[in-house]
Amino acid sequence: MSTDALDRHAPAQSGIDRALGLLDGFREHIEHVQPTLTGLPVLWVRRERIVEILRHLKAPPASFSMLYDLSAVDERLRAHRDGLPAADFTVFYHLLSVDRNEDLIIKVALTGGDPNLPSVTRVFANANWYEREIWDLFGITATGHPHLQRLLMPPTWHGHPLRKDYPARATEFDPYTLTVEGQQTEQEALKFEPEAWGMQRERDGSEFMFLNLGPNHPSAHGAFRIVLQLDGEEIIDCVPDIGYHHRGAEKMAERQTWHSFIPYTDRIDYTGGVMNNLPYVLAVEKLAGIEVPDRVKTVRVMMAEMFRISSHLLFLGTYLQDLGAMSPVFYSFTDRQRAYKVIEGITGFRMHPAWYRIGGLAQDLPVGWQQLVQEFLDWMPPRLREYELAMMRNALVRERTRHVAAFTTTEALEWGVTGPNLRATGCNFDLRKQRPYSGYENFDFEVPLGQHGDVFDRGQLRIEEMRQSLRIIQQCVDHMPAGDYKADHPLTTPPPRERMLQHIETLITHFLQVSWGPVLKPGESLQMVEATKGINSYYLTSDGNNMSYRTRIRTPSFPHLQQIPSLMRGGFVPDMIAHLGSIDFVMADVDR
Amino acid sequence: MPYRLTRAEEEQESSDRYPMGRRQSSEEYVKSQLERNVFTGKLSDVLNSAVNWGRKNSLWPYNFGLSCCYVEMTTAFTSPHDIARFGSEVIRASPRQADFMVIAGTCFIKMAPVIQQLYDQMLEPKWVISMGSCANSGGMYDIYSVVQGVDKFLPVDVYVAGCPPRPEAFLQALQLLQDSIQEERRPLSWVVGDQGVYKAEMGSQREQKRSQRIEATELRTPDKL
User: What are the residue boundaries of the structural domains of chain B, listed by start?
Assistant: 60-182
A96 contact partners, CB below 8 Å, separation of at least 6: A64, A65, A66, A67, A68, A102, A103
Distance CA A156, CA A459 (A): 39
At residue B20, the pLDDT reads 67
Other Cβ atoms within 10 Å of A451 Cβ, number: 13
Amino acid at A460: Q
Average pLDDT over residues A296-310: 93
The answer on whether B134 is annotated among ligand-binding residues is yes
Beta strand A42-45 with A102-110 is parallel
Residue A238 sits at the vertex; the CA angle it makes with A236 and A241, to the nearest 5 degrees, is 170
DSSP letter at A388 equals I
Would you state the pLDDT for residue B21? 67
Lowest-pLDDT range of A129-138, A221-230, A438-447, B32-41: B32-41
Three-state secondary structure of A291-359? CCCHHHHHHHHHHHHHHHHHHHHHHHHHHHHHCCCCCHHHHHHHHHHHHHHHHHHHHCCCCCCCCEECC
Residues A139, A141, A147, CA angle at the centre, nearest 5°?
110
Cβ distance of B66 and A245 shorter than 8 Å: yes
**Mean pLDDT over residues A280-309, rounded?**
93
pLDDT of residue A6: 46
d(CA A146, CA A123): 13
Q: Is B107 a known ligand-binding residue? A: no
CB atoms within 10 A of CB A337: 18
Q: Do A247 and B145 touch (CB under 8 A)?
A: yes
The sign of the dihedral angle between the CA atoms of B72, B78, B79, B82 is: positive
pLDDT at A173 over 90: no
Q: Please state, in angstroms and as integers, the Cα–Cα distance from residue A456 to each residue in A402, A410, A460, following that order.
A: 5, 19, 6
Q: What are phi and psi of B76, to 5 degrees?
A: -65, -25
Are the C-beta atoms of A215 and B114 separated by less than 8 Å? yes
Per-residue confidence (pLDDT) for residue A1, from 0 to 100? 40
Helix, strand or coil for residue A457? helix
**pLDDT tens by residue, A100-109:** 888 899 999 9
Q: Are residues A30 and A307 in contact, defined by beta-carbon separation less than 8 angstroms?
A: no
| pLDDT reported for residue A542 | 92
Check whether A582 has a pLDDT greater than 60.
yes
Structurally, what CATH architecture does the domain formed by A3-143 represent? 2-Layer Sandwich (3.30)
pLDDT of residue A325: 86
Q: Is the pLDDT of residue A78 over 70?
A: yes
The answer to whether residue B35 scores a pLDDT higher than 80 is no
A530: nearest Cα among A400, A408, A451, A437: A437
- Taking the alpha carbons at both ends of chain B, their separation in whole angstroms is 77
User: Average pLDDT for residues A432-437, to the nearest whole number?
Assistant: 90
- Residue A4 has a pLDDT of 47
Three-point CA angle A257, A260, A264, nearest 5°: 115
Q: Is A564 on the interface with B (CB under 8 A)?
A: no
Best of B62, B106, B108 to mutate (most A CBs within 10 Å, chain A)? B108
Half-sphere exposure of A104 (CA within 13 A, CB side): 29
Q: Cis (ω within 30 of 0) for the bond into A60?
A: no
Q: pLDDT value at position A538? A: 94
CATH numeric code, A249-591:
1.10.645.10
Mean pLDDT score of chain B: 85
pLDDT bracket for residue A2 (50, 70, 90): very low
Residue B148 has its nearest CB partner, among A170, A223, A337, at A170
Q: Where are the domains of chain A?
A: 3-143, 249-591
The kind and range of the H/E element at A278 are helix A277-288
User: Is A177–B142 a contact, with Cβ atoms under 8 angstroms apart?
Assistant: no
Average pLDDT over chain A reads: 89
B68 and A264: CB-CB below 8 Å? no
> Cβ neighbours of residue B175 under 8 Å, at least 6 residues apart?
B86
- Condensed to tens digits (0 to 9), the pLDDT of residues A539-552 reads 999 998 899 999 99
Say whether B163 counts as a known binding-site residue. Answer: yes
Contact criterion met (CB < 8 Å) for A248 and B114 = no
Sign of CA dihedral A150, A153, A159, A161: negative
Average pLDDT over residues A477-484: 91
Give pTM, 2 decimals: 0.88
Would you say residue A376 has pLDDT above 90? Answer: yes
Residue A137 pLDDT: 92
In angstroms, how far is CA A192 from the centroid of its own chain? 28
pLDDT at residue number A16: 82
Tell me what pLDDT residue B171 has: 93
Report the candidate in A282, A337, A336 with the shortest Cα–Cα distance to residue A308. A336
Tell me how far apart the terminal alpha carbons of chain A are, to the nearest angstrom. 30
pLDDT value at residue B10: 62
The Cα–Cα gap between A274 and A572 comes to 37
Q: Considering only CB atoms, which chain A residues are within 8 Å of B163?
A: 352
Q: Say yes or no for a CB contact (<8 Å) between A168 and B80.
A: no
pLDDT at A3: 43
A 368-427 residues with CB < 8 A to B: 368-369, 372
Whether residue A293 is preceded by a cis peptide bond, meaning omega within 30 degrees of 0, is no
Q: What is the complex's ipTM, to 2 decimals?
A: 0.87
CATH topology (fold) of B60-182: Rossmann fold (3.40.50)
Rounded to whole angstroms, how far apart are CA atoms A412 and A406?
10
Phi, psi angles (nearest 5°) of residue A587: -65, -30
Burial degree of A484 (CB within 10 A; 0-12, 13-18, 19+): middle
**Does the beta carbon of A587 lie under 8 angstroms from any beta carbon of chain B?**
yes
Point out the residue among B80, B144, B145 whose CB comes nearest to the CB of A333: B80
**Residues facing A360 on adjacent strands:** A357, A486
Do the Cβ atoms of A177 and B153 come within 8 Å?
Answer: yes
Percent of chain A with pLDDT over 90: 49
Q: Please, which pLDDT band fits residue A23 given cuts at 50, 70 and 90?
A: confident
Phi then psi for residue A223, to 5 deg, are -85, 80
Tell me which long-range contacts A405-410 makes (C-beta under 8 A, separation of at least 24). Answer: A405/A454, A405/A455, A405/A567, A405/A568, A405/A571, A405/A575, A405/A576, A405/A578, A405/A579, A405/A582, A406/A452, A406/A453, A406/A454, A406/A455, A407/A453, A407/A563, A407/A567, A408/A453, A409/A453, A410/A65
Residue type, B11: E
